[in-house]
Each structure stands twice: as structure tokens, then as C-alpha cells.
Amino acid sequence: MANNIKQQLFCGVFYTAVAKYSGIIISLVVAGILARLLSPDDFGIAAIASVIIAFFNIFTDMGVSASIVQNKSLTKEELTDIFSFTVWTGIGISILFFAASWPIADYYKSDILRTLCQLLAVNLFFASTNIVPGTMFYRNKEFKFIAIRSFTIQVVGGAAAVIAAIYGAGLYALIINPILSSILLFAISYQRYPQRLRLTLGITVLRKIFSYSAYQFLFNIINYFSRNIDKLLIGKYMNMSALGYYEKSYRLMMLPLQNITQVITPVMHPIFSDFQNDKECLASSYERIVQFLAFIGLPLSMLLLFTAKEVTLIIFGNQWLPSVPIFQILSLSVGIQIILSSSGSIFQASGDTRSLFICGVFSSILNVTGILFGIFYFGTLTAVATCITVTFTINFAQCFWLMYRITFRRSLWQFVRQLFSPIVVSLLVAACLLPLNYAMEGMNIFITLIAKCIISFIIFGGYIQLTHTYNFIGKAKSILKKKK
């Protein structure tokens, strides 16, 4: 059984990683070009529109997609009813968002924000109609096709955004990618898994999945506020330029988070849901993933802390220099967020979305409190970033305490011991980069970035080899022998 999980995870992660990491270069190129063609104000306005549509997008799903993956007994007719429900609600939510564009624009005193929201209503409709056909790929573990689809859409959407910006689309270039991507995603998914539309809301089947999807839906709502209220308040009570700088820092912080965890977590729920009745197997398998994520995330936090300036200037340019101290603070939370982001898939796979909801309530209250404190008491972006980093750390502790006490009914020590070695290697990386950071002050940023990365990789690889966590040398010798 353990080998079967390992094989399925490897297959899913491999295909997801190929698409994700080949797309990193594309996303960085697109972000770099747009950052040089558009102003911080433009990014601030687009960030507000993205945050607001993300809230409406929660209501298009309502926990349905996770329920489809989890519930293996859903029939074709029941899936048809769910699809019909998502289409009709998608139409309603799109119309509601379109109508809300006027009060949203008035609140932020931005006429162009109204137009952006009205255009993004198209995104909501297609996102809703894609829930059933799109989720079927995950339910059937078709990770290879998902990877190809994701990469293709990323290339097309990114190219369209850049071309639009070059030809003077201005702020509108920032919404071309999400709109076009949602349309293409639905078209490809529907072609593979066509669905029939009925004049029904599918109440019967919704009752069947309600106990699972309800807590998932509630978690999505509170997690939204936990993740986005900082942007909404900064845009209102500071200014759009400040939001632009903050948004760029936050996006840089999320880049490794998304490109590491989003390779693994989409695969975890479909695979681990097969073992929802064997918590011992689920827990032991997850602990190996935790250690893997910790070995990547915690040292990476230290590297990002000491390369924040180089990364920001190389990707976005000199006009984004005010983002550097914010990014440095947020980078401290990257490691724990990489580990924490995997917890949702485990709560889902074990069928314990109630505990997921409880974690969400706690983290939402704590994060919002920290954000309010940073904005209204200190009134600086660095203070907001510091408060968020502290609250993420506290949320990390409470989430895994609840998972091991309630979901797994297992000693938390089994989890904690997975973090010891990753913490040690992270401290070693920090101890070497700190003096190097001062010694290379004022040098070419490309040279300092390369030097810091090489030193970090040497320390990391040496520690892994010396502690026998992974035998790189032995593996290399084995490969060479096979070639001979």
C-alpha cells in the first residue's frame, strides 16, 4: 500500500512539476515585462479587482470540487445535476458581480476599477461552469493531461498579456490573462468531459455532499478574508502605490510557495482520499512529505531573506526598490507556509473538513487582528508584513496540533521530529549568508545573487549528504555504474 501511494504521488508530482517549473520562466518574464511597462498604481488597482473577484469566486465552487474528488459514489446523473447547479449559480454570481462594480468603484474612488470588475465578470462565469469537467481530471488522477493543459494555457495567456501591454492596453493588460485562461480552461475541460445542462438546481445531490462541502465552503470564505483583507485595507487607507509595492512583495513571497506546494498539494487529495479510512497509513505517509517540504521551505526562507534585494531588482526593476524590506520580512514565513499549505489536502482526504474549518476560523481571526494592528496602529507596510509573519507562525502551530490531536489521534512528536534537521540546515545557511551579505555589499547584484545561491546549495547538499538524509554521492555512483 505504501509503495502504491509513493508511485502515484511520484507520477502525479512529476507531471505537475514539469508543467509548473517550465512555466516559471514564462511567468517571471511576463511579470518582469509588465512591471516595466505599468506603474505601481496600475498594479494596485488590478490587485483590488483580483481580490474582490476572488471573494465572489468562492461562491461559484462552495466546496463542490473537493466533494467530487472525495465522494467516489457520485453517479453520472448526479454529476449532471451538479454541473447544472454550477452553471445557473455562475450566471447569477456573474450578474451580481457586474452590478457590484458600481459601489466597489465608488468605495475606492476609481472609475477604471468599475470597468475592470465588469470585464472580470466573464471570468466568474467560466470558472463556475468549469468546476465539474475540470475536477474530473483530478478525480480520475489524470495528472499528465492537467500538466499539459496548465502549461498551454499559461503560455497563451501570458503571451496575450504581454502583447496587449506592448501595444498600449495599459492596465487592461493585467486582466487579459485571467479572462482568457478561464475561457480556455473551460473549453479544454468540457471537450474532454462534456456535461449535459438541465433546468434544475440539483438539490437532491447537493444534500448528499452537503456535510462535506459545507465546512469546505465555510473554510474557503474565512481563508479568503485571512489572505486578502490586508490588500483591501491598504488600498483604502493608504494608497494604490503602497498597495502596488505590497502586492509585488507578497507575490514574490508567494512565488516559491505556489511553485513548490502547488506541484504536490493538487496530487495529495485525489491520492490520499483512497486511504481516508486508514488514518495511520495516511499520517505516516504525510510525515514523509512534511520532512521533504521542510527541507525545501525552511532553507529557502533564509536564502530569500538575504537575496531579497537582488531578486526584486532583477525581476521588477529599480522602481520597485521600496518592496525589498517588505519582501525580506515576508520571506521569513515562506518555509512554514510551504508546510502549512499541505495541511488542507490532508484534512480533505481524511474527510475531516470540520477541523479544517476550525483551523480556518482561528487563523482568520488571528491574521485579521494582526493586519489591523499593522495598518491602524503602526501604519507602515513593514509593520503589516511583520504582523502577518507572526500570525502565520502561530497558525502553523495550532493547525498541526489540531490535526494530530483530532484528525489523526496521534502524538504531535511524530510531526515535530520531521522538522529538526531542516531547522538545523536553515540556521547553517543563515549563519553563512549573514557575513557574506555584508562582505558583498555594493557589488553587482547578479554576482551577489549567484554567490549566495551557490553557498546555500553547497551547505544544503553537504548537510544532506553528511547526515545520510539522502546519499547524493551513492546515487550518482549507482547511475554511472548503470551507464557503464
CA-based nearest residue to 268, from 293, 304, 239: 293
Phi first, then psi, for residue 285 (nearest 5°) are -70, -40
pLDDT at 455: 93
pLDDT at position 304, please?
A: 92
Q: What average pLDDT score do residues 79-101 get?
A: 91
Task: Report which of 229, 123, 232, 255 is spatially closest to residue 178, judged by C-alpha positions.
Answer: 123
- The answer, yes or no, to whether residue 165 has pLDDT greater than 80, is yes
Average pLDDT for residues 58-68, to the nearest whole number? 78
Residue 420 has pLDDT above 80, yes or no: yes
To the nearest whole number, what is the mean pLDDT of the chain?
83
pLDDT of amino acid 7: 58
pLDDT digit string, tens, across residues 146-160: 778 887 888 888 888
User: Of 270, 208, 221, 215, which Cα lies nearest the Cα of 81?
Assistant: 208
Q: Which of 128-132, 153-157, 165-169, 340-344 has the highest mean pLDDT?
A: 128-132
Q: What gap in Å lies between CA 145 and CA 196, rounded to an integer?
A: 22
Q: What is the b/e burial string over 422-444, where b = at least 16 CB atoms within 10 angstroms of the residue's CB?
A: beebbebbbebbeeeeeebeeee
Q: Determine the pLDDT at residue 110.
A: 83
Longest dimension (CA), the chain: 71
Long-range contacts of 274-279 (CB under 8 A, 24+ apart): 275/1, 275/5, 275/349, 276/70, 276/349, 276/350, 276/351, 278/1, 279/350, 279/407, 279/408, 279/409, 279/410
At residue 450 the predicted structure's pLDDT band, cuts being 50, 70 and 90, is very high
Cell, residue 398: 495550532
Residue 131 pLDDT > 70: yes
Look at residue 186 in the predicted model and tell me its pLDDT: 92
Percent of the chain with pLDDT over 90: 24
CA-CA-CA-CA dihedral for 305, 307, 310, 314, to nearest 10: -90
* pLDDT bucket at 33, cuts 50 / 70 / 90: confident
pLDDT computed for residue 481 by the predictor = 60
pLDDT of residue 36: 76
pLDDT at position 475, please?
Answer: 56
Rounded mean pLDDT of 290-295?
Answer: 89
Range 32-46 average pLDDT:
77
Rounded to 5°, the CA angle 342-345-350 comes to 130
The label of the residue with cell 468603484 reads 105
Does the pLDDT value for residue 472 go beyond 60? no
Mean pLDDT, range 75-92, rounded to an integer: 89
Task: Work out the average pLDDT over 106-122.
Answer: 88
**Between 382 and 475, residue with greater pLDDT:** 382
Q: What is the pLDDT of residue 250?
A: 84
- Mean pLDDT for 18-30 is 65
**201-215, 276-290, 323-337, 376-390 — which is least confidently predicted?**
201-215
The listed range with the strongest mean pLDDT (15-19, 163-167, 198-202, 251-255) is 163-167
Return the pLDDT at 96. Answer: 93
What's the mean pLDDT in 413-425? 92
Q: Which of 393, 356, 390 is nearest to 373 (CA)?
A: 390
Where are the domains positioned within the chain? Answer: 2-483
Question: Which of 36-45, 322-331, 365-374 shows the lowest per-residue confidence on average (mean pLDDT)?
Answer: 36-45
Tell whether the model's pLDDT for residue 91 goes beyond 90. yes
Average pLDDT over residues 247-272: 74
CA-to-CA distance for 419 and 423, rounded, in angstroms? 6
pLDDT at position 292 is 87
Compare 69 and 384 and report the one with higher pLDDT.
384
Q: How confident is the model at residue 15 (pLDDT cuts 50, 70, 90)?
A: low
How confident is the model at residue 237, as a pLDDT? 82
Flag whether pLDDT at 100 surpasses 70: yes
> Which range among 17-26, 87-96, 462-471 shows the weakest confidence by mean pLDDT?
17-26
Terminal Cα distance for the chain, rounded: 34
Q: What is the mean pLDDT of residues 259-277?
A: 70
Assess whether pLDDT exceeds 90 at residue 425.
Answer: yes
pLDDT at residue 29 is higher than 60: yes
The number of angstroms, rounded, from the C-alpha of 194 to the middle of its chain's C-alpha atoms is 28
Instruction: Please choose, from the candidates 144, 414, 90, 124, the residue with its C-alpha nearest in 3D space to the C-alpha of residue 266.
Output: 144
